[in-house]
Amino acid sequence: MPHSETYERFMKSTNIGFDQWHDGIGYDLQAYQQMTPEERDRVAKNLHMKGQLDWRDMEVLRLHGDSDSFDKLRDVLATGSIDARAHALGELIEMGKMSGSVADVQLAHVIDDIDGIEGMVPALLLAPDHGGPMTSAALLRGTRDRPGVAVNFAGMVCFLAGVTDEEFDWDLRPLFLRMGEGEPEAGRAAAFEELCKLCGVDPASIPEQGDGKGVVFPKSRVKKS
């Protein structure tokens, strides 16, 4: 049985070369949506059987949207790489399957496991709209304990706390850098104390990972769970 023109166009777009990879170009989702239902199901079924999904694959599953696609994204969120988990969470939220306090809890789990650049960007992009008290606590823990993420996490902490008007305020960059890699531990600790004071948080009140409690900033941009 011949395929539709839109199917052929979509399949051509899945041949990701270096330029497409480098520029972050995704699959032709418009073509996917214009395919026949049978063709969309066929593509999704192939992705269900795929071992490792990247963000492009997950966008397709979100558009497909049936229970098997939801289950696949949920499995990636539970067992994938940290980058895949962050992307899967974003797609599940877009599907309307994970909102409110559930999204906050799941995002906090992802953020607690980030220890470098992998997964950081997609996770931080979710924080302003979907983070809550649990996410705020996870960001504070990361800033305090993991120099590899502290600079970026500190920027987001200040934004969620209502201290700054952007996700990374360059006027506060000197403070953020004092918590980053290569800084002496005593200096990092002093800078973190300054950050907490700026955000109206008692450092001793920050719950440890797995505690089940969050942090609500006095002028928080995020809602209580």
pLDDT in tens, the chain (225 residues): 568 999 999 999 999 887 777 778 899 999 999 999 999 999 999 999 998 999 999 999 999 999 999 999 999 999 999 999 999 999 999 999 887 799 999 999 999 999 999 999 999 999 999 999 999 999 999 999 999 999 999 999 999 999 999 999 999 999 999 999 999 999 999 999 999 999 999 999 999 998 889 999 988 776 544
This prediction has a pTM of 0.91
Question: DSSP letter string over 97-160?
Answer: SS-HHHHHHHHHHHHHT--SSTTHHHHHHHHHHH--HHHHHHHHHHHHH-HHHHHHHHHHHHHH
Q: How far is CA 19 from CA 16, 23, 24, 25, 118, in A?
A: 8, 6, 8, 8, 20
